[in-house]
Chain A
């Protein structure tokens, strides 16, 4: 079973080498435990472009689809047998990257 672990930023994150090192250690643990699927960091919402081509509308807009104080800044996709394991890993990830995480199952 796969889960998306979203990393939520509120602009107070540290983003220093120490934090990056903690994330690297956590990623290695995910790989060693067979829980790793994929992970990535994202640019801040200011770098976003919204594209709406429903019914061929061809609209391109600068900025995110909704402005919020908290936003997605990265994610892990993990493999876990159930939610208990997923929550424990998300907790370790949250501590490593010093940000809130949200866990959602893939359908």
Chain B
């Protein structure tokens, strides 16, 4: 509804407030007057009226009101396909590269996922007022700089899609590992919304390997949802999960997408590799049947594309199953022995005034760096300690 109102009135704030007011009116009136025969149409109609009322109140926006009335009056009820298109447009607006990356995720969760500001603030571990400001500022920029509300032109599409995928993956993860006390451990609404939107993007770009890869990754993860939390609300790790409770239809669809990408014969991106890893896991009827050499080989491929510590750590977990815990432990220890880790620690300890600890961390970082310029820099910082 917010998406449709945004298109009609060209303003995220007005759309959001009108939708909220319509729901509030419904809560007030339906218990007394009874639920109208078509609740959805009633809400849309009411929200449209609220939006026009608000535009009328704001006399400075005469032009916008005219435009909205013109656009509002002749429009017939929209079929579902049109609503999907509106959501897709809204996603591209919220994920625009002119907005800061963390703002894109927050705005998508707010405008497309329908999360409240406190929920988003919790997910980002920032104060509510900070998140409120960030979202307000983003909406202000969208309006003032006229960030368009549409699917980008063909020449921009590919570059823009990778930004959208990053946001959709984060929305999915927020649903899969919901943050905040009192939250459901898995937020089905968010995982479902992320999957739905990724399907929409795929219908737009059926030949894009990473779109297919992300969809497969989400499906193969979602397939295990029921087995992932125990009856007492505790997380169940992959090896202990009841594989009979996995969703065979989602797994079949995910495997189909992974096979499609393998057949394409194009070097895969990170989402496709992660999907392939999940395909290996979901192919094993028992955890003992897992093809760990395949999993490690895929992680090796992923480390080459993304040499981050998180990927290396996940690789080490797989190595434990293939080569034993001793080899894996050595790999994990090597991660903690990066000079950047000690250099960052040394700097934080210095700022906390813990000079002695900071000196030790600088010593460790200096011993581990292979770069003479960096060693010189770290030595100077160490010697400046009081």
If over half of A's interface residues share one DSSP class (helix, strand or loop), that class is named, otherwise mixed; here it is: mixed
What residues of B have a CB within 8 angstroms of the CB of A105 in the complex?
144-146
What residues of B have a CB within 8 angstroms of the CB of A81 in the complex?
146, 148
Q: Which of A16-24, A33-41, A83-91 contacts B (4 or more CB under 8 A)?
A: A83-91
Known: A1-B146, A83-B145. 7 other contacts (CB 8 A): A81-B148, A82-B146, A82-B148, A83-B147, A87-B97, A103-B145, A107-B144
Bound-complex Cα distance A105 to B142 (A): 11
Bound-complex Cα distance A104 to B156 (A): 20
Bound-complex Cα distance A84 to B146 (A): 9
24 cross-chain CB contacts under 8 A: A1-B146, A3-B145, A81-B146, A81-B148, A82-B146, A82-B147, A82-B148, A83-B96, A83-B98, A83-B145, A83-B146, A83-B147, A83-B148, A84-B147, A84-B156, A86-B145, A87-B97, A87-B98, A103-B145, A104-B145, A105-B144, A105-B145, A105-B146, A107-B144
Pick the most buried of B98, B145, B147, B156: most chain A CB atoms within 10 A of its CB. Answer: B145
Question: Would you give the shortest CB distance from B379 to chain A, in whole angstroms?
Answer: 27
Q: Is B153 an interface position by the 8 A CB rule?
A: yes
Q: Is B152 an interface position by the 8 A CB rule?
A: yes
Bound-complex Cα distance A27 to B147 (A): 24
What residues of chain A have their CB less than 8 Å away from a CB belonging to chain B? 1, 3, 81-84, 86-88, 103-105, 107
7 smallest beta-carbon distances between A and B, as pairs: A82-B148, A105-B145, A82-B146, A83-B147, A83-B145, A84-B148, A105-B144
Q: Could you give, for residues 15-40 of chain B, a 1 whenever the CB lies within 8 Å of some chain A CB and a 0 otherwise? A: 00000000000000000000000000
What residues of A have a CB within 8 angstroms of the CB of B97 in the complex?
87
Question: Would you give the shortest CB distance from A83 to chain B, in whole angstroms?
Answer: 5
Bound-complex Cα distance A104 to B98 (A): 11
What residues of B have a CB within 8 angstroms of the CB of A104 in the complex?
145
- Interface residues on chain B, number (Cβ under 8 Å): 11
Bound-complex Cα distance A103 to B96 (A): 15
Residue of A nearest to B142 (CB): A83
Instruction: State whether B145 touches A84 (Cβ < 8 A).
Output: no
What residues of chain B have their CB less than 8 Å away from a CB belonging to chain A? 96-98, 144-148, 152-153, 156
CB < 8 Å neighbour of B153 from A3, A83, A84, A103? A84
Pick the most buried of A81, A87, A103: most chain B CB atoms within 10 A of its CB. Answer: A87
Question: Would you give the shortest CB distance from B364 to chain A, in whole angstroms?
Answer: 34
Question: Would you give the shortest CB distance from B107 to chain A, in whole angstroms?
Answer: 15
Bound-complex Cα distance A88 to B96 (A): 13
Question: Would you give the shortest CB distance from A80 to chain B, in whole angstroms?
Answer: 8
Question: Would you give the shortest CB distance from A86 to chain B, in whole angstroms?
Answer: 8
Instruction: State whether B152 touches A84 (Cβ < 8 A).
Output: yes
Question: Would you give the shortest CB distance from B294 to chain A, in whole angstroms?
Answer: 42
CB < 8 Å neighbour of A88 from B145, B146, B156? B156
Bound-complex Cα distance A1 to B145 (A): 9
Bound-complex Cα distance A82 to B142 (A): 10
Bound-complex Cα distance A38 to B315 (A): 56
What residues of B have a CB within 8 angstroms of the CB of A82 in the complex?
146-148
What residues of B have a CB within 8 angstroms of the CB of A103 in the complex?
145
Residue of B nearest to A88 (CB): B156
What residues of B have a CB within 8 angstroms of the CB of A88 in the complex?
156
What residues of A have a CB within 8 angstroms of the CB of B152 in the complex?
84
Bound-complex Cα distance A19 to B148 (A): 32
Pick the most buried of A81, A83, A103, A105: most chain B CB atoms within 10 A of its CB. Answer: A83
Residue of B nearest to A80 (CB): B146
What residues of B have a CB within 8 angstroms of the CB of A86 in the complex?
145
Bound-complex Cα distance A3 to B146 (A): 10
Residue of B nearest to A106 (CB): B144
Residue of B nearest to A107 (CB): B144
What residues of B have a CB within 8 angstroms of the CB of A83 in the complex?
96, 98, 145-148
Question: Would you give the shortest CB distance from A90 to chain B, in whole angstroms?
Answer: 11
What residues of A have a CB within 8 angstroms of the CB of B148 in the complex?
81-84
Question: Would you give the shortest CB distance from A54 to chain B, in whole angstroms?
Answer: 27
Question: Would you give the shortest CB distance from B21 to chain A, in whole angstroms?
Answer: 28
Residue of A nearest to B148 (CB): A82
